[in-house]
């Protein structure tokens, strides 16, 4: 598969030569970075974002907002200064708006653009062009929006000048992207917009709307706001991304003798499901110096090697660890006993079909993995070296790099360039921790 950069990059990762060590700071949270840019763009006044993720996904959102007339400065890497244009200040752009690989970018922007007075077209790369968009098109249509697609797939042509009305929407899938698209459209709707979810999902949009001064009521699994207010500029400190930290959490757990500290990791309760599951499997992870940073809980995580036992992952945890299943699959393949994952069908419509990609790759390394429609049954054991393919999926690529640490020979991982969408500099940080990652030729 072509990556967003058009490059083809393979990694060769050797078995861990030594225990993993060090204090590591992974890049800023992707979900928070997207939302901070969007709300800052629509606010009145100048906002500063620090800890911003310099990934291709969030940079695509930044470029799109610039195409829509927002002035965004980058004082240095990881920092943005955004001159908000106000709720009605975006300018039309005749060119397609390219979200790259980013489902979050496209779905949230669909909601935001549905409220504008002008038409826009959202496009994405090959992977994003296969991802389902009816989940946002249909609820937005129920609010009066008009979005054309090709059988529910991108490109999305978002028609402007529709009058949106608030309503109560029950989402069919537990998806923070869908909830957020509805809430962003709700800023432009007449009356009250309410979202009810089948299971609670991450509440960053709700928290950040509050921080930018928009009145909102919310709790686990629901949120309600009214149109007709204004967003006020706000400075945002983005925590380190729990999902990026997850690879190192699993790696240090798996490699004998390891001890690492992951610094300043975002600990939003709707994101930390993997922590609970790894601990239930026997992991030794301590939460140190818990604190608040810009309205979000953060902490340092000390991770020591431990041997793991397989478990049945509680279905209720699925939305709270939805991006961490590829890493969990690796932990399960090296645990004692059987791990059962259910209720995670959403994995099939991520940047790749993550159940199929991880099952195929782990089997190529000798693991016993049985796919089910909404999860997998994984028998723990040992792994051998070999050749696997991440199918251009950043999280599968990094998870397979973790698997290689405990294989008996090097693993060649194909199609890793998209790691830059969420975790620029992964190889550098991984080497700093003790991974032996080389580039395949
Ligand atoms: C995200 C929500 C999740 C997650 C994605 C980021 C967000 O997707 O997988 O990486 O920022 O809202 P869904 O909401 O579709 O589950």
Number of domains in the chain: 2
Of the candidates 141, 181, 148, the one whose C-alpha atom is nearest the C-alpha of residue 165 is 141
User: Quick one: 201 and 271 in the same domain?
Assistant: no
Q: What is the pLDDT of residues 281-332, one digit of tens each?
A: 999 999 999 999 988 999 999 999 999 999 999 999 999 999 999 999 999 9
Residue 5 lies in a domain: no
The residue range of the domain holding 188 is 30-237
User: Quick one: 305 and 422 in the same domain?
Assistant: yes
Angle, alpha carbons 271-277-278 (nearest 5°)? 105
Compute, in angstroms, the gap from residue 176 CA to the centroid of ligand 1: 6
Atom of ligand 1 minimally distant from the CA of 34:
11
User: Quick one: 102 and 135 in the same domain?
Assistant: yes
User: Quick one: 130 and 274 in the same domain?
Assistant: no
Give pLDDT < 50 ranges for the chain: 1-4
Residue 6 lies in a domain: no
Catalytic residue, candidates 29, 203, 323, 353:
323
Q: What is the pLDDT of residue 441?
A: 79
Residue 40 lies in a domain: yes
Residue 3 lies in a domain: no
Q: What is the CATH number for 114?
A: 3.65.10.10
- Tell which of 210, 237, 264 closes a domain: 237
- Tell which of 199, 221, 237 closes a domain: 237
User: Is the C-beta atom of 177 inside 6 A of ligand 1?
Assistant: yes
- From first CA to last CA, the distance across the chain in angstroms is 17
User: Quick one: 211 and 164 in the same domain?
Assistant: yes
User: Quick one: 398 and 412 in the same domain?
Assistant: yes
Residue 85 and residue 89: Cα distance in Å, rounded?
5
Q: What is the pLDDT of residues 116-164, one digit of tens each?
A: 999 999 999 999 999 999 999 999 999 999 999 999 999 999 999 999 9
Residue 62 lies in a domain: yes
> Nearest C-alpha to atom 9 of ligand 1 is from which residue?
323
Q: What is the pLDDT of residues 80-101, one digit of tens each?
A: 999 999 999 999 999 999 999 9
DSSP, collapsed to helix, strand or coil, labels residue 363 as helix
User: Quick one: 112 and 251 in the same domain?
Assistant: no
Place of tokens 């190529």: 364
User: Quick one: 245 and 353 in the same domain?
Assistant: yes
User: Quick one: 39 and 15 in the same domain?
Assistant: no
User: Quick one: 228 and 350 in the same domain?
Assistant: no
User: Is the C-beta atom of 125 inside 6 A of ligand 1?
Assistant: no
Q: What is the pLDDT of residue 6?
A: 60
The token duo for 340 is: 């059962």
User: Quick one: 246 and 161 in the same domain?
Assistant: no
> Nearest C-alpha to atom 11 of ligand 1 is from which residue?
31
């Amino acid at each position: 598969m072509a990556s967003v950069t058009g490059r083809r990059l393979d990694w060769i990762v050797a078995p861990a030569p030594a225990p993993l060590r060090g204090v590591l700071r992974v890049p800023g949270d992707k979900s928070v970075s997207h939302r901070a840019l969007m709300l800052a763009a629509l606010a009145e006044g100048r906002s500063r974002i620090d800890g911003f993720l310099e990934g291709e996904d969030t940079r695509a959102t930044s470029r799109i907002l610039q195409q829509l007339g927002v002035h965004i400065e980058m004082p240095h890497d990881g920092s943005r200064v955004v001159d908000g244009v106000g709720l009605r200040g975006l300018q039309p752009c005749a060119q397609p708006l390219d979200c790259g690989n980013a489902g979050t970018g496209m779905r949230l922007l669909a909601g935001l653009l549905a409220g504008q007075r002008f038409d826009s077209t959202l496009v994405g790369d090959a992977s994003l062009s296969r991802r389902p968009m009816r989940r946002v098109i249909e609820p937005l249509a129920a609010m009066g929006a008009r979005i054309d697609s090709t059988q529910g797939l991108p490109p999305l042509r978002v028609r402007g000048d529709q009058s949106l009305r608030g309503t109560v929407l029950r989402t069919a899938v537990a998806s923070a992207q869908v909830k957020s698209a509805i809430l962003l459209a709700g800023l432009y709707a007449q009356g009250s917009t309410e979202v009810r979810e089948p299971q609670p999902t991450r509440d960053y949009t709700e928290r950040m709307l509050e921080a930018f001064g928009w009145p909102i009521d919310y709790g686990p699994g629901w949120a309600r706001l009214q149109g007709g207010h204004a967003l006020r500029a706000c400075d945002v400190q983005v925590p380190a991304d729990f999902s990026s930290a997850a690879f190192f959490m699993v790696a240090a757990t798996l490699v004998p003798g390891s001890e690492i500290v992951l610094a300043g990791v975002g600990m939003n309760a709707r994101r930390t499901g993997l922590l609970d599951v790894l601990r239930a499997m026997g992991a030794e992870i301590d939460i140190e110096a818990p604190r608040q940073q810009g309205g979000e809980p953060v902490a340092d995580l000390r991770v020591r090697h431990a041997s793991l036992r397989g478990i049945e992952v509680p279905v209720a945890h699925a939305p709270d660890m939805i991006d961490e299943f590829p890493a969990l699959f690796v932990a399960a393949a090296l645990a004692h006993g059987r791990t059962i994952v259910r209720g995670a069908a959403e994995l099939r419509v991520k940047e790749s079909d993550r159940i199929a990609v991880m099952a195929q790759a782990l089997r190529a390394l000798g693991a016993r993995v049985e796919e089910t429609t909404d999860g997998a049954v994984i028998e723990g054991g040992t792994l051998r070296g070999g050749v696997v393919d991440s199918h251009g999926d950043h999280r599968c690529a990094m998870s397979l790099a973790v698997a290689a640490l405990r294989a008996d020979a090097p693993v060649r991982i194909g199609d890793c360039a998209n790691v830059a969408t969420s975790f620029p500099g992964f190889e550098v940080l991984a080497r700093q921790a003790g991974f032996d990652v080389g580039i395949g030729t």
